[in-house]
Amino acid sequence: MRLENVGIVVDDLDATVEFFVALGLNVVGRTEVGGDWVDRVVGLDGVRCDICVLRTADGDGGLELMRFHSPAAVGGDAAAPPNTRGLRRLAFAVDDLDATIADAQARGATLLGDVVQYEDAYRLGYLRGPEGLILMLAERLG
């Protein structure tokens, strides 16, 4: 039917939420979860997790950012390149690519390559944001 959201485990929930709010997403809600139902659904014991749900301005795209207090988060490579197997990037449509990149860089993001134009359709840029997340930003042309 539709993609409800993408879940991302982070260490610094507040900083990551702040980054995505600055990008234009809206906080839908924040909560802490734990207990038997969470343990059973995720297949872990003793879960205690802070969650923040965000939505894109059009209401269609969602992120669920999670910070696990217990059990502690494991693994991850914040420097993994875009061709690493698994979920590698999130893509966002933006109105002004240059301004969005400049704002994200002011918040600590780094441009991975160059800003390029794809045919007559888009200008594109890849950023590495908080927690090593890779974002593709796309500005539609014309």
Q: Are 34 and 49 in contact (CB under 8 A)?
A: yes
Instruction: Quote the pLDDT of residue 1.
Output: 77
Domain tally, the chain:
2
Distance CA 90, CA 138 (A): 11
In-domain check, residue 133: yes
In-domain check, residue 134: yes
In-domain check, residue 75: no
Distance CA 45, CA 15 (A): 27
In-domain check, residue 104: yes
Which pLDDT tens digits describe the chain residue by residue (142 residues)?
A: 788 999 999 999 999 999 999 999 999 999 999 999 999 999 999 999 999 999 999 999 999 999 999 999 998 888 898 899 888 899 999 999 999 999 999 999 999 999 999 999 999 999 999 999 999 999 999 8
DSSP single-letter state for residue 30: E
> What is the domain-level CATH number for residue 46?
3.10.180.10
My answer on whether 14 and 49 are in the same domain is yes
My answer on whether 64 and 94 are in the same domain is no
Domain range holding 52? 6-70
My answer on whether 66 and 11 are in the same domain is yes
First and final C-alpha spacing in the chain? 30
Instruction: Quote the pLDDT of residue 43.
Output: 93
My answer on whether 65 and 110 are in the same domain is no
pTM over 0.75: yes
My answer on whether 103 and 56 are in the same domain is no
Q: Which residues contact 53 (CB under 8 A, 6 or more apart)?
A: 5, 27, 28, 29, 30, 62, 63, 64, 65
pLDDT digits (tens, 9 = 90+) for 14-32: 999 999 999 999 999 999 9
My answer on whether 63 and 94 are in the same domain is no
Q: Which residues contact 140 (CB under 8 A, 6 or more apart)?
A: 93, 121, 122
